[in-house]
Amino acid sequence: MKSFALAALTILSAASAAPLETRQTSTEFDVTGFNAGCVPHSSLCYFNLNAAVSPSKSVVCSASALSYEVIPDLAPTACNDSSVSFSFTHVEGGADLEINWGYDAGRNLTGTHFIADSEIVWTNTQIPTGTVQAYDGPADFVIGDLQAIAVL
């Protein structure tokens, strides 16, 4: 009887030591269709992207912001699945596009893609007041080096 209890205790201890992962996570975010820019003759700018944040989860992220001609910073904004958000922040030499996925209670994965100043261009619509900024870099890219963040 003591042998059985000891064996059961050993099995339970080993099982409890193994971490339980409730969702399959990814080591990168695959972004497709990214575009951002401002609408000529308007104070409206837009951001759009699709992101595969895991092998089984893809989201659509879209937002608009008020700004005249210049792509503005965008505070964290929820995608069509509120567990994923994205933001756009101007930094020295360009801008950071950040994606954040709250994949489990208290656990987030965050990744950042740097957009160089050379990828943000001024467009000319042949009308003097129609010059606005637009993103002119690759529409599809991978965000690697994801950071796991525990949220308390």
Decide if pLDDT at 145 tops 50: yes
Which domain covers residue 139, as residue numbers? 25-150
Band of residue 124 on the pLDDT scale cut at 50, 70, 90: confident
Q: Does 133 map to a domain?
A: yes
| Reported pTM | 0.81
Does a structural domain hold residue 13? Answer: no
Contact 64, 91 (CB under 8 A): no
Please determine, for residue 17, whether its predicted confidence score (pLDDT) is greater than 50: no
Q: Cα–Cα distance between 152 and 148 in angstroms, integer? A: 13
H-helix or E-strand containing 2? helix 2-17
Q: What are the φ/ψ torsions at residue 78 (nearest 5 degrees)?
A: -70, 145
Domain count along the chain: 1
Mean pLDDT, residues 4-16: 39
Residue 79: inside a domain: yes
Residue 127 to residue 39: CA distance in whole angstroms: 13
